[in-house]
Homo-oligomer: A and B are copies of this chain.
């Protein structure tokens, strides 16, 4: 079966901020989407192997900083291609602590949201966390980075732990 069709699905690019007590972590995700409008809820799909998954399960909160188009590839790589188990991803990166006490990343964001998890759904390799929005802010009018732009223009790659990994993609773990 030709899975190239899955590359046509549209996404944005996000830094997901998470905590477990006072410990903070973050990772890149592209599968953030609104679920209902009343109340306003969003979902994010996170690999069970990822530290962020463990942190969200522990604290029941997360943030999503929505990246703009001009975000440098190195900034994404810092969050996306290594594990918070091996390194402090937040070292040298600007962030603020939100109302959920999750870290929020402002350097290349056009907006952010914070959510409290109301449901988590086991979907095999990943967990879908559904969160009720508790805070949001629009930061500027910059164009949002699309996942397609990240691949086509920025020449970014996808790690194997991403929901949208397709066999044959280059990319780290």
Contacts and interface: CB of A to CB of B under 8 A. Distances in A.
A126 B40 contact: no
Interface in A107-139: 110-113, 119, 121, 123-126, 128, 130, 133-138
Interface stretch (A2-10, A20-28, A51-59, A75-83): A2-10
Central interface residue in A6, A38, A162, by most chain B CB within 10 Å = A6
A146 interface: yes
Given A9-B66, A66-B9, A33 B45 contact: yes
Contact of A124 (B5, B41, B148, B166): B41
Contacts of A113: 5-6
A11 B32 CA distance: 9
Contact of A111 (B8, B45, B146): B8
- The contact size tier of chain A is 35 or more
A92 interface: no
B41 A35 contact: no
A1 B133 contact: yes
26 contacts: A2-B136, A3-B133, A3-B136, A4-B111, A4-B136, A5-B112, A6-B42, A9-B32, A9-B33, A9-B34, A10-B145, A11-B11, A11-B12, A35-B126, A36-B123, A36-B126, A36-B163, A37-B125, A37-B162, A38-B124, A39-B124, A41-B123, A41-B124, A119-B121, A121-B128, A123-B130
